[in-house]
């Protein structure tokens, strides 16, 4: 498959730069005047926390490669050094943009609504008195100033914490460096008697002298360090990086600082001191044109009653397929059910398990759990099911990235309740979302299956868009059971008819479907692919898409985040379009459509077109065969492709631009889907709700008694 043509590095985007463009799209939402003010503040905050994670994982990874003297270029032809240079330059520009949004948009608007943020100069006397008292009673006791001298090494500054760096002069005129962390246990936004607000670190600065008796404060500056985080990067780049590691025999340096954010007005020598101490270079330095760490901006809504500046909460609706259905299981027997979250409520998925726990007809429940919290209603239902004598098998993924709360604790609780718990698979993360309920119905044993594109997490189900699917059709039940048996170690990987799993054959399946479409095109037939996913990174898939485009297949990709494919390159990808949708909700669903010469195929999946999904995760691809549901998916894809508000089209140089909406109806896909769900529920209510006000309850008549007597 190593076609020389595709070694051309100009055909691929660099992954990190692509991600940064995604983050820019998030930041752009903060600029969009159509978004309510507090939503715009939220987007700013999300942009920053995304960057934090990016530094901790991705930038740290690139720096490691540089440290190991790796010259190996990525598919786009950039060596680690070159990548780093581009990344740093891009983020510097982005941070300027961030502060521009802050100063020019958020602060002025907030001011108009009565929010005033002051520094020392804006303080009234009553404020000063108040702050003095606050400092003594609440701040001072929790402060740990740390001085540095030859006998004391540079202290360990906590990752992502906000600190004040100081040069102090002692009685002899000697200069010392000191640092104080602004305590994270106290709220960052301090409310003042005069009605204004001040940042906690500014309060600290006011009383700084008190912290260092016998010294004067020469210079001070606010700063923040970001450190490298976990091993995910290593895993992402797999064999390449590992080979490099083995060659150099050096230990990976974990925990090193990778970024220094410091106020722009900081004195040069103070900055230099920090950079030397942290072993950082100029490209790692970010001068902030305002408060360091702007994440406090989302806290404004907590301290002021500004509800009207928020977007009203989305109220998940009763799913269209379940309107008027009392019994979930009966509804599934009647027909397959599709749920579009969060527009349609996630509650039925929870009910699916909760009902099963108490249903005497249910024999067994099997579920994969990834990123689920311990007090989730699903986990509790599973526990109850085991108590009620059901056979419960749970495949738990305990190592989920940064939110590594102790999943093991609740998993052990499940075990104690009698569930068979499997703590993950060696070498593979279980990413598929699958639930099987085995039930002895009146006529036979049935397997009710739920599969989805999103996690069994009722909290994230409100913030992400995802699609879930219920069925009790036998071929799917058999495949799902067989797959679960393999995952729990009972048997060999199965031959499945309807479902496809990674790493068992999902890559092959995707590639063969794309190639099949290309064959159709070459034979002069219509060929069309629509695919929606979160990231597109896998080189082999991208190559195959390029080939398909060359053969004449029309390919429309909806990729939310990273996309290293370059659309619109003449002779390579002129038949490929890429758009990204970033809106109020985080797009998370994965939908795949293949025209296949009229025998259309629709699939949903837990996997993106990323190498890690196809090779190093357990993922599921499942077909939607019900005609009614296929029409619904087609309509959904149509709406996504018609979005003129939140969609951004990718150009072949990797930049994104708004969709030209002239002469086209205004469509915001997420709002459209929400309205559609609300309408559907509402229409049902109108048609089916009783209009009567007084409905008398009468005793049953005793007619029958008389009848009997007659005989």
Partner 1 sequence: MNKNKVLAGIDLGSGSIRLKIMQLTDKGETQLLENVTRTIAIGKDTFASGRISPDMVEEVCQVLIGFKRLMSEYKVQVKRVVGTSAMREAENSDYVLEQIRVRTGLTVELISEAEERYLTRQAAFAAVPDFREKAAKGLLYTRIGSGTTQIAAYTDKGMNFSQTTQMGTLRILGMLSSIEGQTLRYQDVMEEFLISNMDYILRKGRQQSYTQYLVSGSMSDKIYEICKGKAPRKTSGKISFQAFNKVYRSMLSMSAADIAEQYGMEMERARRMIPTMMIIHTVSSYMKLEEITFSFAGLLDGILWELAGTKESEQQRSDSMADILFYTRMVADRFQCDQAHSEQVEKYAMMLFDAMQKAHGLTDRHRLILRMAAYLHDAGKFMNITDHAEHSAQIATSLEFSGITTEEQRMMATVIRFHEDVELIAEDPEYQRLGRKNRLILSKLVTFLRLANALDYSHRQKFTAVKVNVTGGRLVISATAHQNATLENWKVMGFGESVSDILGLSLELHIKGGE
The site for partner 1 (CB under 8 A) is made up of 363-364, 391, 393, 420, 438, 440, 443-445, 474, 478, 481-482, 485, 488-492, 494-495, 497, 505
DSSP reduced 3-state for 206: helix
DSSP states of 239-250: HHHHHHHHHHTP
Please tell me the total number of residues recorded for the chain in this structure.
Answer: 711
Nearest to partner 1 of 1, 689 (CB atom): 1
Q: At its nearest, how many Å lie between partner 1 and the CB of residue 444? A: 5
Three-state SS at 684: helix
Instruction: Indicate which residue of 215, 431, 450, 588 is catalytic.
Output: 431
Contacts of 330 by beta carbon, 8 Å cutoff, 6+ apart: none
Question: Which of 152, 156, 201 lies closest to 177 in space, CA to CA?
Answer: 152
In angstroms, rounded to a whole number, what is the distance separating the alpha carbons of residues 163 and 145? 10
Q: Which of 165, 362 has the CB closer to partner 1? A: 362
The CA distance from 253 to 61, in Å, is 10
| Cβ distance to partner 1 smaller for residue 120 or 474 | 474
**Block residue for tokens 């309408």:** 679
Q: Between 139 and 438, whose beta carbon lies closer to partner 1?
A: 438
| DSSP 8-state assignment for residue 278 | H
Cβ at position 482, least distance to partner 1 in Å:
7
Residue 374: Cβ within 10 Å count: 15
Q: Tell me the closest approach of the beta carbon of residue 490 to partner 1, in angstroms.
A: 4
Rounded least distance, CB 703 to partner 1, Å = 36
If the CB atoms of residues 347 and 485 are measured against partner 1, the closer one turns out to be 485
Beta carbon nearer to partner 1, 28 or 481: 481
CA dist., res. 184 & res. 188, Å (int)? 7
CA angle 12, 537, 487 (to 5 degrees): 160
Residue 298 DSSP symbol: G
Buried b / exposed e across 654-687, counting CB within 10 Å, b at 16+? bebeebeeeeeeebbbbbbbbebbeebbeeeeee
Residues 6+ apart with CB under 8 A from 208: 164, 166, 180, 217, 220
Please report how close the Cβ of residue 435 comes to partner 1 at its closest, in angstroms. Answer: 14
Q: How far is the CB of 391 from partner 1 (least distance, A)?
A: 4
Closer CB to partner 1, 236 or 625, in the complex: 625
Which residue's CB is nearer to partner 1, number 505 or number 661? Answer: 505
Enter the tokens of residue 343.
């527009």
Is the preceding peptide bond at 481 cis, omega within 30 degrees of 0?
no
CB of 242 to partner 1, least distance (A): 26
Smallest gap from Cβ 438 to partner 1, in A, equals 6
| Whether residue 262 has a cis bond before it, omega within 30° of 0 | no
Tokens coding 226: 């970001």
Identify whether the C-beta of residue 438 lies closer than 8 Å to the C-beta of residue 376.
no
Judged by CB, which is closer to partner 1: 94, or 621?
Answer: 621
- CB within 8 A of 380, min separation 6: which ones? none
CB 270 within 8 A of CB 219: yes
Cβ closest to partner 1, residue 390 vs residue 646: 390
Residues 419 and 411: their CA atoms lie apart, in Å, by 9
Report how far apart, in Å, the C-alpha atoms of 336 and of each of 100, 126, 359, 676, 678 are.
Answer: 50, 66, 21, 20, 21
Output the smallest distance, CB 296 to partner 1, in A. 52
Q: Which whole-number Å values give the CA distances from 601 to 444, 531, 684, in the listed order?
A: 30, 12, 30
Distance, in Å, from the CA atom of 253 to the CA atom of 436, rounded to the nearest integer, reads 44
Nearest approach, Cβ of residue 387 and partner 1 (Å): 16
Q: Is 215 among the catalytic positions?
A: no
Give the whole-angstrom CA distance, residue 296 versus residue 44.
10
- Closest CB 500 distance from partner 1, rounded Å: 12
CA distance 469 to 607: 15
Chain centroid to CA 206: how far?
39
The smaller minimum CB distance to partner 1, of residues 180 and 499, is found at 499
CB closer to partner 1, 50 vs 391: 391
**Percent of the chain as helix, strand, coil, to the nearest 5:** 45, 20, 35
- If you write DSSP's letter for every residue of 151-172 in order, what string do you get? TBPPP-PPTT-EEEEEEEE-TT
Q: Are strands 554-559 and 528-533 parallel, antiparallel or unpaired?
A: parallel
HSE-CB of 334 using CA atoms within 13 angstroms: 11
CB of residue 31 vs partner 1: minimum separation in angstroms?
A: 51
Q: In terms of DSSP bridges, do strands 197-199 and 586-587 run parallel, antiparallel, or are they unpaired?
A: unpaired
Q: Toward partner 1, which CB reaches closer, 77 or 505? A: 505
**Least distance CB 356 / partner 1 (angstroms):** 13
CA distance 360 to 358: 6
> Half-sphere exposure of 341 toward its Cβ, with a 13 Å CA cutoff?
27
- Written as one string, the DSSP assignment of 404-426 is ---HHHHHHHHHHHT-EEE--BT
The residues annotated as belonging to the active site are 431
């Amino acid at each position: 498959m190593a076609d020389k043509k595709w070694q051309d590095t100009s055909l691929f985007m660099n992954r990190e730069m692509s991600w940064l463009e995604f983050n820019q799209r998030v930041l752009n939402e903060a600029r969009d005047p159509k978004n309510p003010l507090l939503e715009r503040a939220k987007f700013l905050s999300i942009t920053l926390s995304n960057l934090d994670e990016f530094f901790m994982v991705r930038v740290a990874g690139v720096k490691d490669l540089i440290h190991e003297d790796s010259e190996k270029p990525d598919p786009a032809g950039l060596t680690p050094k070159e990548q780093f240079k581009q990344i740093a330059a891009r983020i510097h520009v982005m941070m300027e943009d961030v502060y521009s949004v802050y100063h020019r948009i958020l602060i002025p608007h907030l001011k108009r609504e009565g929010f005033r943020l002051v520094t020392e100069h804006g303080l009234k006397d009553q404020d000063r008195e108040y702050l003095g008292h606050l400092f003594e009673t609440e701040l001072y006791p929790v402060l740990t100033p740390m001085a540095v001298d030859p006998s004391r090494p540079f202290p360990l500054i906590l990752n992502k914490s906000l600190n004040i760096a100081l040069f102090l002069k002692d009685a002899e005129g000697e200069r010392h460096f000191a640092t104080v962390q602004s305590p994270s246990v106290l709220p960052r936004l301090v409310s003042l008697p005069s009605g204004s607000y001040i940042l906690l670190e500014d309060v600290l600065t006011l009383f700084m002298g008190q912290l260092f008796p016998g010294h004067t404060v020469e210079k001070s500056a606010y700063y923040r360090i970001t450190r490298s985080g976990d091993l995910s990067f290593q895993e992402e780049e797999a064999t390449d990086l590992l080979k490099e590691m083995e060659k150099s025999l050096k230990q990976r340096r974990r925990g090193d600082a990778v970024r220094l954010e410091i106020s722009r007005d900081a004195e040069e020598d103070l900055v230099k001191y920090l950079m030397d101490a942290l072993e950082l270079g100029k490209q790692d330095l970010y001068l902030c044109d305002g408060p360091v760490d702007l994440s406090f901006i989302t806290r404004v809504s907590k301290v002021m009653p500004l509800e009207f500046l928020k977007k009203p909460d989305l109220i998940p609706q009763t799913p269209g397929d379940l309107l008027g259905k009392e019994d979930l299981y009966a509804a599934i027997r009647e027909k397959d059910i599709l749920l579009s979250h969060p527009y349609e409520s996630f509650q039925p998925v929870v009910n699916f398990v909760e009902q099963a726990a108490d249903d005497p007809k249910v024999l067994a429940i099997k579920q994969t759990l990834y990123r689920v919290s311990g007090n989730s209603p699903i986990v509790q239902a599973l526990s109850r099911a085991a108590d009620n004598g059901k056979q419960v098998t749970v495949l738990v993924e305990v190592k989920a990235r940064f939110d590594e709360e102790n999943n093991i604790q609740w998993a052990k609780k499940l075990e104690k309740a009698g569930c068979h718990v499997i703590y993950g698979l060696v070498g593979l993360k279980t990413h598929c979302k699958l639930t099987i309920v085995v039930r002895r119905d009146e006529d036979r044993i049935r397997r009710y299956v739920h599969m989805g594109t999103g996690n069994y997490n009722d909290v994230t189900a409100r913030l992400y868009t995802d699609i879930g699917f219920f069925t009790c059709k036998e071929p799917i039940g058999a495949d799902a059971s067989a797959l679960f048996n393999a995952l729990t170690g009972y048997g060999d990987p199965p031959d499945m008819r309807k479902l496809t799993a990674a790493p068992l054959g999902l890559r092959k399946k995707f590639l063969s479907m794309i190639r099949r479409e290309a064959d159709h095109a070459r034979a002069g037939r219509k060929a069309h692919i629509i695919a929606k996913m979160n990231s597109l990174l896998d080189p082999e898939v991208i190559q195959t898409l390029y080939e398909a485009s060359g053969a004449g297949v029309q390919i429309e990709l909806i990729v939310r985040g990273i996309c290293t494919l370059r659309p619109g390159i003449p002779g390579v990808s002129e038949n490929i379009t890429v758009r990204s949708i970033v809106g109020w909700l985080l797009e998370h669903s994965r939908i795949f459509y293949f025209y296949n010469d009229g025998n259309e195929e629709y699939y949903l999946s837990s996997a993106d077109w990323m190498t890690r999904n196809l090779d190093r995760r357990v993922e599921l691809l499942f077909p939607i065969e019900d005609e009614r549901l296929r029409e619904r998916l087609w309509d959904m894809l149509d709406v996504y492709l018609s979005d003129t508000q939140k969609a951004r089209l990718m150009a072949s140089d990797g930049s994104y631009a708004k969709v030209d909406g002239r002469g086209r109806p205004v469509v915001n896909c997420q709002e459209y889907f929400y309205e559609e769900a609300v309408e559907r529920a509402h229409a049902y209510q109108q048609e089916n709700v009783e209009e009567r006000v007084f409905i008398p309850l009468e005793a049953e008549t005793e007619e029958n008694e008389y009848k009997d007597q007659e005989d």
